[in-house]
Amino acid sequence: MDSTTDLKNGVCIVFNHDVFQVTEFLHVKPGKGPAFVRTKLKSLTTGKVLDNTFPSGSKIEIVRIERRKYQYLYKDDIGYHFMNCDTYEQISLEKHLIDNPQYLSDGDFVEIMFHAEEERPMTCELPSFIESEVTYTEPGIKGDTATNAMKPATISTGAEIKVPLFINIGDRIKVDTRSGQYSERLK
């Protein structure tokens, strides 16, 4: 058994019969009373984020998680299909295991986190940014650039995002997959 002194960002632990990843932690030593560790935990199975406080030195169970690089192949009624880049083995994942699946396009590389002892996929993370082509958007009106106005646009993956008025159909843009926001126009 490990203790709360082993907690750091990115460590995965078993808590309330689920696997959580530590996204933030803070060791607090108040002037009066015992020390404690304040954490923010993200569930790898449901994606929910919760705050929890552990007494300093309490026992926790750290889980070994492996990150493996996979390539997205296609989607069908079974789920999303990926291929391991090293062994060419294919797996399929359900939609709820993938962070923002609307930004996936054929051939994209992702990282899938596996529970090392059980060889069970826990979650699938897309790259922070993707490059995509705008397939549909309303034309911008000339001279309407005095404010930071945004308009809806559909990108090649089928997702709809907000883009500045100067973006037109056929432009290649960079999109932040974590927030779903436009980042920049590419040349």
* 6 plus 42 within the same structural domain: yes
pLDDT score for 144: 61
* 8 plus 59 within the same structural domain: yes
CATH number at residue 143: 2.40.50.140
Last residue within a domain, chosen from 20, 35, 63: 63
* 98 plus 149 within the same structural domain: no
Coil, helix or strand at residue 106: coil
* Mean of all residue pLDDT scores within the chain: 89
In DSSP terms, 60 is beta-bridged to 2
Residue among 106, 99, 6, 7 nearest 44 (CA): 99
Percent of the chain having pLDDT more than 70?
96
pLDDT score for 104: 92
Q: What is the pTM of this model?
A: 0.76
* 20 plus 46 within the same structural domain: yes
**129-157 residue pLDDT tens:** 999 999 999 887 766 666 778 899 999 99
Say how far apart CA 67 and CA 65 lie, in whole Å.
7
**Residue 100 confidence class, pLDDT cut points 50, 70, 90:** confident
pLDDT score for 71: 96
Other beta carbons within 10 angstroms of residue 78's beta carbon come to: 9
CATH number at residue 30: 2.30.30.30
For residues 26-36, average pLDDT: 91
For residue 134, what are the domain limits?
130-186
Last residue within a domain, chosen from 63, 85, 114: 63
Does 97 score more than 90 pLDDT?
no
Does 22 score more than 90 pLDDT?
yes
* 154 plus 173 within the same structural domain: yes
In DSSP terms, 65 is beta-bridged to 115
Does 165 score more than 90 pLDDT?
no
User: Do you know the residue count of the chain?
Assistant: 187
* 111 plus 121 within the same structural domain: yes
**117-135 residue pLDDT tens:** 888 898 898 999 999 999 9
For residues 15-26, average pLDDT: 91
pLDDT score for 178: 86
For residues 61-66, average pLDDT: 91
* 9 plus 58 within the same structural domain: yes
Query: Under 8 Å CB-to-CB from 97, ≥6 apart: which residues?
Result: 121, 122, 123, 124
Number of domains the chain is built from: 3
* 71 plus 116 within the same structural domain: yes
Say how far apart CA 103 and CA 178 lie, in whole Å.
10
pLDDT score for 130: 93
pLDDT score for 146: 62
* 70 plus 118 within the same structural domain: yes
Say how far apart CA 53 and CA 164 lie, in whole Å.
42
Q: Do residues 102 and 153 lie in contact, with contact meaning Cβ atoms separated by under 8 Å?
A: no
* 34 plus 84 within the same structural domain: no
Last residue within a domain, chosen from 96, 125, 154: 125
* 55 plus 69 within the same structural domain: no
Does 1 score more than 80 pLDDT?
no
* 107 plus 59 within the same structural domain: no
Q: Which of 83-87, 106-110, 116-120 has the lowest mean pLDDT?
A: 116-120
Amino acid at 79: G
